[in-house]
Structure 1
Amino acid sequence: MIDLRTIAILRDFGPERSRTYAERCWAAGMDLVEVPVQGEAGWSSLEAVADAAAGRAFGAGTVLSTDDAKHAIDLGASVLISPGTDPIILELAASRGVVALPGVMTPSDVSVAVQHGVGAVKLFPASVVGPAWISALSGPFPGVGVVAVGGIGIGNAADYLRAGAVGVGFGGSVVELLETEDPADVVAGLHGLIRPPR
């Protein structure tokens, strides 16, 4: 079982910086390092993180096609993260034994994910709808975990977790988190706010 309580999204850092930031994120106790795989630079960065992982969890982000999904799995990614809910990618992930984290924005998106056996979804972009969306959707979908991504930072991550999110993703704000006095303490504090889905 892969925890998705805190996700570091390493977009556009390049291979060497991605490897360095991945190491720092894992050292701080973050559960998952995600590398969006848009373009050649994205794939090179994912390869660098894969080389450094040594059994630690990493995933491929912005997975938009089955070719992307297969390539990421071949590199060792254990999580496929997408901006939307694509049934074909969900089915491929299930058949290959990896976790799919599809992006959702509507109840219909969540319903499609649930029908494909997905246990957690990515609310994206979370800042557009706010924490109240998570509380509202827990009624019709009580067993689905929601990971809030998009516009999440140190200042508002706790709000989403208190609203019932099972995780948060730090994109552009991940460097800010790592530059705090004690990143591990920040991450542990966030983990302490998480309640399992009903």
Structure 2
Amino acid sequence: MSDNDFEAIFGRVPVMAILRGMGVERSAALSTTAWDLGIDSVEVPLQTDEDDRALREVVRLGGERGKLVGAGTIISVEQVAAAQRAGAAYLVSPGLDATVVRAAQAAGIPILPGVATPSEVQLALSLGLTWLKAFPASWLGAGWFRHIRGPFPQARFVATGGIDASNAAEFLDAGVKVVAVGSALEDPSQLDRLAALLAR
């Protein structure tokens, strides 16, 4: 797999789920909520042993439904291997580390690095990446994406950090391909609005 596979990974659905530090049971429950809602992509950040167990369980559940699961907060080469052992189909990083990117590429697993500046976007593109995670999106603001698309029209952005049903549409309207939500999946008042986003 390669960077180009993110088009298929996200399944043309403009919302993904991030299940950070939720443990095995909550991660399993919320991944099921996400899939039932129509969200194809679920990411489990990998920082602790409990996260590893949660990732493995969500990967197992995803396998039963034909869904690919990613591992997030990948900041070292060692985590690339650990995520693969747990069954992750793709990786997500909070920042851009060329060493980690190259390790993922060598392992044949797509990686979505975090960027927040034009220099980082340019470096990511030079590494052969076109799908990028913009983080923290709420701090960057939707306007950032309108400006950055000028010099980098080939970049495709996943916006993460501080996004829920109340502001997701603003980022999508600014040209973001995918927005990431987390705790919003536990808020019944947001589920209908998230479902409406999936119909865009």
- Provide TM-score, normalisation by structure 2: 0.88
Could you list the per-position Cα deviations for residues 82-132 of structure 1 after superposition, in whole angstroms to 9, with x for gaps in the alignment? 000011221122222222111111011111111111121111111112000
Q: State the aligned residue count.
A: 189
The reply on whether 1:21 has 2:30 as its aligned counterpart is yes
1:5·1:31 contact (CA, 8 Å) conserved in 2? no
Instruction: Please report how far the alpha carbon of residue 192 of structure 1 lies from its aligned counterpart in structure 2 after TM superposition.
Output: 4.4
SS in 1 for 2:163: coil
Unaligned segments of structure 1, at least 5 residues: 194-198
The residue type paired with residue 130 of structure 1 is G
Alignment match, 2:4? none
Q: How does 1:127-166 map to 2 (within 5 A)?
A: 127-166=138-177
Q: Deviations over 1:126-154 (max 9, x none)?
A: 11120000000000110111111101010
> How much has 1:7 moved relative to structure 2?
1.3
The answer for the alignment partner of 1:32 in structure 2 is 41
Counterpart in 1 of 2:9? 2
Report % sequence identity: 38
Tell me the TM-score normalized by structure 1: 0.89
The CA RMSD measured in Å over matched residues stands at 1.6
Q: Is the Cα–Cα contact under 8 Å of residues 60 and 80 in structure 1 kept in the other structure?
A: yes
1:190 aligns with 2:194: no
Where does structure 2 lack aligned partners over 5 or more consecutive residues?
A: 1-7
Query: 1:34 and 1:44 mapped to 2: Cα distance?
Result: 13
Greater displacement, 45-54 / 162-171: 45-54
Look up the match of 1:115. Answer: 126
Instruction: Give, in whole Å, the separation in 1 of the partners of 2:60 and 2:28.
Output: 8
**Alpha-carbon contact 1:32-1:58 (below 8 Å) kept:** yes
**Which residue identity lines up with residue 24 of structure 1 in the other structure?**
T
Structure with the larger helix share: 2
CA distance in 2: counterparts of 1:31 and 1:180, whole angstroms: 21
Distance 1:137 1:14 in 2: 36
1:170 to partner: Cα distance: 0.5
What is the CA-CA distance between 1:188 and the residue it aligns to? 4.9
